């Protein structure tokens, strides 16, 4: 199993907007200087909700490419699933901004 594909699927699940929206929403509604920066800074929200899935897509593409070039590695399907999860997370993240 490709370590990069395993890392890509973990990254895709952990950084999906469904999981990152809850803590960011709690911080934004708590008030205070950190909450106000989350609530009013669109660039920070874009970095969280768009930057994390884009990095996941790059990790997954690297893993799938490694699997295709090495006959002894497995896990290309896991990498492709990670690409789809990150792509859907990217679309959902656009709606959160």
Residue scoring higher pLDDT (91 or 41):
91
Percent of the chain beyond pLDDT 90? 13
C-alpha pair distances (Å), 18 with each of 33, 48, 49, 65: 24, 12, 10, 28
pLDDT tens by residue, 33-72: 777 777 678 888 788 888 888 999 999 999 999 888 888 8
Angle between helices 76-96 and 17-30 (to 10 degrees): 30
Please, are residues 63 and 79 in contact by the beta-carbon 8 Å criterion?
Answer: yes
Task: Report the chain's mean pLDDT, rounded to a whole number.
Answer: 84
Residue 90's pLDDT is: 87
Domain ranges of the chain: 3-96
Residue 96's pLDDT is: 74
Of the ranges 14-23, 53-62, 68-77, which one carries the lowest mean pLDDT score? 14-23
Distance CA 35, CA 28 (A): 4
């Amino acid at each position: 199993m490709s370590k990069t594909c395993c890392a890509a699927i973990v990254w895709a699940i952990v950084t999906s907007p469904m999981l990152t929206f809850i803590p960011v929403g709690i911080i934004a509604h708590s008030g205070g200087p950190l909450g106000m920066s989350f609530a009013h800074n669109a660039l920070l929200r874009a970095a969280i909700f768009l930057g994390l899935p884009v990095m996941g897509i790059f990790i997954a593409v690297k893993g799938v490419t490694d699997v295709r070039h090495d006959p002894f590695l497995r896990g290309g399907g896991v990498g492709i699933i990670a690409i789809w999860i990150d792509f859907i997370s990217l679309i959902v993240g656009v709606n959160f901004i």
